[in-house]
Structure 1
Amino acid sequence: MILEKLKEDQEYSSSYWDKRSHMMYYQYVKYMVQALAADANSMIDVGSSNAEYVESFDWIPQRHTIDLENPYYSDRVQGFEMDFMQFQPTKKYDFITCLQVLEHVPDPISFARKLFDIGKNVLISVPYMWEESSEAEHIHDPVDFDKLSLWTGRDPSYHIIVKEPLFNSSKSNRLICYYHSDSEKFDVKKMRLRVKNMRNSSNSKAFAFNAMNHSWFIESIHKNVYEIFEFNEKMNRRIEDLHLKMEAENLRREYYFLKEKLKEIKSSNQDISSGIKQYEIELKDLRRTNQLSEKQKIKYDQLYMRIINSKSWRLTEPARRLWAGLKRKF
């Protein structure tokens, strides 16, 4: 059983890692780990899926992986096969990587925030704006910057969108976000200097992916990755500037739309005010007419009472009765 399990793990690792080990995305991850975890003493890769890129970070003394089914492990890396949500380390890791995992997790909010409970500095990557249902195992596509910020409950200290070259599919973009510990000041220049120092150090082996046989290709990538990194950083700043300009233009249009609406409301209010004033004038006229009518009624009532109570009215009462009787008779 043990030999069969080892064989299955090796076959899974070969099929999964061999298809991805050459990707530019992993060069960015490696560069960022070298810059951001140069002085780390411990790290864990969450959701390793038996991928062996963690071997490249050989300057970190304690390296762990955790996966529900296929954690990577070797004589240099310890793997935990268990549910990450049940994982309770004795102390926080200096550095955590969680690469292309959250899009698979049913509850990404709890999962993402646990990363910050067990680690000081966290590096997360997700597929960026992949179409919904483009991958059967992905349950949250499309994922963008805002969705990832909702999951983590915070904004990253640094982020970059990596696009695979010579790759026309919509599934070529990945968002990498780094979350720096609040206890330390994040300095991009200092991080880049760390990589430079590691390159110049004869004792450093951080620039070799042990699983890759194409050393000539990797060497050429190492020479240019810094320039590509800087270029992507500039492009991200330009994209952010364009987003701000678009947002400003949308706000300007909304302002003029509301301004026109306000004019219409003011014009409508003026019409209503004019109508109210006209009704008030008519009401005053009606009240004046009513007062005159009341006075006339009182006057006629008084006149009627004087006639009824007059002596002549009483004297002519027999004649009026006679006349009324004659009218009934004839």
Structure 2
Amino acid sequence: EKRKDWVYLHVARIICARFAQGPGSVLDVGSNRTPTLEWHRPSATRLVSLDLRRPYVADGVESIQEDFLKYQVDEKYDLVTCLQVLEHVPDAGAFAERLLSVGKVVVVSVPYKWRRGCCKGHVHDPVDELKMFRWFRRRPVYSYIAREVTTERSRLIQVYQPDLTIGQEMEGTARSFIERVRRETRRIYRERIAG
């Protein structure tokens, strides 16, 4: 419940809507009972929550308690989300490679440059763009740093499209998308400050 007001989740929702418009199938990896799959309910015919301990449970959601690296996939998902998970995974490179292999669009968030040892369970802090590049072995098609209002912490959100070759760029409305993210972020900040 407390997560619903975090800036990075609002930004991640906007990013998912832009890069995976109307996804039919969505896999959320490392859900930890977070209802981000609800963002996609209007368009998705398949919603899957996968977590080692606490998958998200709701009507119409396949809740799977399993190790992602052992999870069997029959076809690529239109969208794969993995929010605030990689920093906990010992072999983040293998995990990143697996994310790319199961999704057409992959949206990932990590704590951005958090001090080593500040969070129990984080095995990779500080995480930055270079570390993400090493794990994913490619540049993201989009990257955004979301700064929280109340905690002064930031999260790095990146989008990968595994089927694009390096050097291909997103066509169309990238500038308008960036402006939409900025407007939404300003709105959230204003609401937080007023409330």
Structure 1 consecutive aligned stretches of length 4 or more whose deviation exceeds 3 Å:
190-193, 226-229
What TM-score results when the alignment is normalised by the length of structure 1?
A: 0.51
1 or 2, which has the higher helix percentage? 1
| Aligned: 1:176 with 2:157 | yes
Q: Structure 2 residue aligned with 1:97, among 63, 72, 81?
A: 81
Pair 147,227 (structure 1): closer, same or farther in 2 beyond 3 Å: same
Structure 1 residues 24 and 188, CA, compared in 2 at 3 Å: closer, same or farther? farther
- Per-residue deviation, 1:185: 5.8
Distance 1:40 1:190, change over 3 A: farther
Q: Is the 8 A contact 1:96 1:123 kept in 2?
A: yes
Q: Distance in 1 between matches of 2:101 and 2:121?
A: 26
Amino acid at match of 1:177: Q
Count of residues paired in the alignment: 182
Equivalent residue letter for 1:174: R
Q: 1:120, CA displacement in angstroms? A: 1.2
1:60 aligned onto 2:35: no
Equivalent AA in structure 1 for residue 69 of structure 2: M
Alignment of 1:56-205 (within 5 A): 56-58=39-41, 59-168=43-152, 172-180=153-161, 181-182=163-164, 186-187=170-171, 189=173
Matched, 1:48 2:31: yes
Q: Does residue 1:35 correspond to 2:21, yes or no?
A: no
Matches within 5 A, 1:249-268: none
Quote the RMSD (CA, aligned, Å). Answer: 2.4
CA distance in 1, matches of 2:151, 2:185: 21
CA distance in 2, matches of 1:179, 1:116: 8
Structure 1 residue 39: deviation in Å? Answer: 3.3
2:184 corresponds to which letter in structure 1?
A: V
Q: Contact (CA 8 Å) 1:35, 1:191: kept in 2 or not?
A: no
Question: 2:193: which partner in 1?
Answer: none
1:24 alignment partner in structure 2: 7
Say whether the 8 Å CA contact 2:88–2:123 is kept in structure 1: yes
Query: Normalising by structure 2, what TM-score?
Result: 0.85
- Structure 1 Cα separation of the partners of residues 169 and 132 of structure 2: 23
| Relative contact order higher in (CA < 8 Å, ≥ 6 apart) | 2
> Secondary structure of the equivalent of 2:21?
coil
Between the aligned partners of 1:144 and 1:226, the Cα distance in structure 2 is 21
Letter of the structure 2 residue corresponding to residue 84 of structure 1: F
Matched residue type, 1:65: S
For 1:145, the aligned partner's letter is E
Matches within 5 A, 1:181-330: 181-182=163-164, 186-187=170-171, 189=173, 224-225=183-184
SS at match of 1:94: strand
Identity %: 34
**What do the CA deviations read for 1:19-62 (whole angstroms, capped 9, x no partner)?**
21111111101111111111321110000011112112112221
Give ranges in structure 2 of 5+ residues lacking alignment: 189-195
Query: Secondary structure at 2:173's aligned position in 1?
Result: helix
Gaps of 5+ in 1: 1-17, 197-221, 230-330
Are the aligned partners of 1:55 and 1:77 in contact in 2 as well (CA < 8 Å)? no
Aligned mates of 2:111, 2:98 — CA distance in 1: 20
Q: Deviations over 1:172-191 (max 9, x none)?
A: 10000001231886225069
Cα distance between partner residues in 1 of 2:172 and 2:131: 25
Q: 1:109 to 1:98 in 2, by over 3 A?
A: same
Opposite residue 57 of structure 2, the aligned amino acid is Y
**Could you tell me how far apart the structure 1 residues matched to 2:129 and 2:169 are?**
23
Contact 2:11 2:185 in 1 (8 A): no
8 A Cα contact 1:48 1:65, kept in partner:
yes
Q: Secondary structure at the match of 1:21?
A: helix
Q: Which amino acid aligns with 2:70?
A: Q
